[in-house]
Structure 1
Amino acid sequence: MVLFYSSNALGDDLPVVIYAGKDKFENEELLKYFIPERDLWVHVDKLSSPHIYLRLPEGMDWEKVPEKLLLDAGHICKAGSIQGNKQAVTIIYCKATNILKRGDFATGSVTFHDPRKVKRFRIEERVNAIVNRLNKTKVERQVDHEAERIERDRQQHKLKRAAANERANADLALARQRKADAEARSYANLHAKEGTDEWEEDEWERNRKEGDFDPDDDFM
């Protein structure tokens, strides 16, 4: 089972999903199926706590997450830690892709590919208003992780294909415009410059009425 929370830290019109495994076995599953480009991993430093995942809005830089949103995820960690709930804690977070799980690790245990890419912030004391607000949104749901990943990958492929088609159409339109511009310049060059003999002949030809004498025509 997976626990889902909804944070309104960015406003009611932009809810952010925070989720966690109900136990250490579910945490193992979440490590396999998080969204690489969007999910942050959040935990209480040096204490037992839930492994929290914060799903960032599309395009948000993980190093520029608003403090209020981080505090929401951090308070879920703190509230779920037997020791941490009673004291000031340091919350650690990083991109979920930075989490390293080796085969010889105990269930639920992880480390980091690069410890330098782990950020920290402090929560001095529990803020009940935050915890209560988030608990009101909590939903426990059975998740078919593999099916959700397949559907997500399908949607990602669809978006990438649409973006590729849009780029191809834009390139085609640009090529057509360039061709039209080149043809227009080529046509313009067919006309003689003003003041030359060729220009005068072109002017006479354009202005003469039908039946007028053409000096280049042979006659008897």
Structure 2
Amino acid sequence: MVFYFKARPDVGDYTIFMGLDKHENEELIRYGFPEDIWFHVDKMSSAHVYVRLNKGQTIDDISEGLLEDCAQLVKANSIQGNKVNNVDVVYTPWYNLKKTASMDVGQVGFHNPKMVRTVKVEKRLNEVVNRLNKTKVERTPDLKAEREAIGAAERSEKKVQMRDKKRREEMERLEKEKLADIRSYKGLMVSEKMTSNKQIASENRSLQEMEEDFM
């Protein structure tokens, strides 16, 4: 089971989601998207909360409003973190999550700790949490199939882009050859290199004229 929430409308059309338990968290870790940003209460047990950014966006594109929604949701879904103030919430791109065979189910590390950011949540904002909960939808998605479908679409798009690139390169090559041929033909037509019919006639005297000169 995965829970989906809609972020506040003024920040854009963003979906925030989290797994029901550590087993769903494990699936979310395995089949995440490059645009996913992961949130967790620092040094405490909490839900794994994600927000899916738009294609091409990065962690730097998260607005303050969207960040607050994600941080409040992850705090509210931490048994310990929900009871105290001044909680640190860490967040990082999904692809920075590190999973090894020795880790427990749902446990993660980081490939690059420098890519992990922290935001302090002073207190729970009920108006934010309640608004998010009103948008809550429960689904049991096939995360693997969703990831494979997106991967197939991306590969197909890349093939089209490569084909278009090769077509443009071939057209550019043919155009260059055409221009080269034109320049070569123009070189042959330079007036200094051309001979008129009159010049040919004057330079190629008849045998009779040459005999008359000889006589």
TM-score of the pair, normalised by structure 2: 0.83
Tell me the matched-pair count.
206
Match in the other structure for 1:7: 7
Higher Cα Rg, which structure: 2
Distance in structure 1 (CA, Å) of the matches to 2:186 and 2:76 = 77
Match in the other structure for 1:102: 100
Q: Is the 8 A contact 1:9 1:72 kept in 2?
A: no
Distance in structure 1 (CA, Å) of the matches to 2:181 and 2:9 = 57
Distance in structure 2 (CA, Å) of the matches to 1:187 and 1:132 = 78
Distance in structure 2 (CA, Å) of the matches to 1:23 and 1:10 = 30
For 2:98, the aligned partner's letter is L
Gaps of 5+ in 1: 206-213
Distance in structure 1 (CA, Å) of the matches to 2:205 and 2:51 = 90
Distance in structure 2 (CA, Å) of the matches to 1:142 and 1:72 = 23
Q: Cα gap change, 1:183/1:103 in structure 2, threshold over 3 Å: closer, same or farther?
A: same
Distance in structure 1 (CA, Å) of the matches to 2:205 and 2:18 = 97
For 1:50, the aligned partner's letter is A
Residue 15 of structure 1, CA deviation: 1.1
CA deviations over 1:89-112 (Å, ceiling 9, x no partner): 111011222222333333322222
Give the % identical residues: 35
Residue 216 of structure 1, CA deviation: 7.2
Alignment of 1:18-97 (within 5 A): 18-35=16-33, 37-86=34-83, 87-97=85-95
Q: Normalized per residue, which structure has more helix? A: 2
Distance in structure 1 (CA, Å) of the matches to 2:26 and 2:204 = 94
Give every structure 1 segment of 4 or more consecutive aligned residues whose post-TM-superposition deviation is greater than 4 Å.
8-11, 214-220
Task: Name whichever of 151-160 and 63-72 sits farther off.
Answer: 63-72
Match in the other structure for 2:150: 152
Distance in structure 1 (CA, Å) of the matches to 2:75 and 2:193 = 91
CA deviations over 1:66-109 (Å, ceiling 9, x no partner): 22222221111011122222322111011222222333333322
Q: Is the 8 A contact 1:44 1:92 kept in 2?
A: yes
Output the aligned Cα RMSD. Answer: 2.6
Distance in structure 1 (CA, Å) of the matches to 2:17 and 2:122 = 23
For the residue of structure 2 that corresponds to 1:178, the secondary structure is: helix
Distance in structure 2 (CA, Å) of the matches to 1:104 and 1:167 = 45
CA deviations over 1:135-189 (Å, ceiling 9, x no partner): 2322110111222122111111111111111211221121122112112211211
Distance in structure 1 (CA, Å) of the matches to 2:132 and 2:204 = 95
For the residue of structure 2 that corresponds to 1:189, the secondary structure is: helix
Q: Is the 8 A contact 1:43 1:91 kept in 2?
A: yes
Residue 119 of structure 1, CA deviation: 0.7
Gaps of 5+ in 2: 209-215
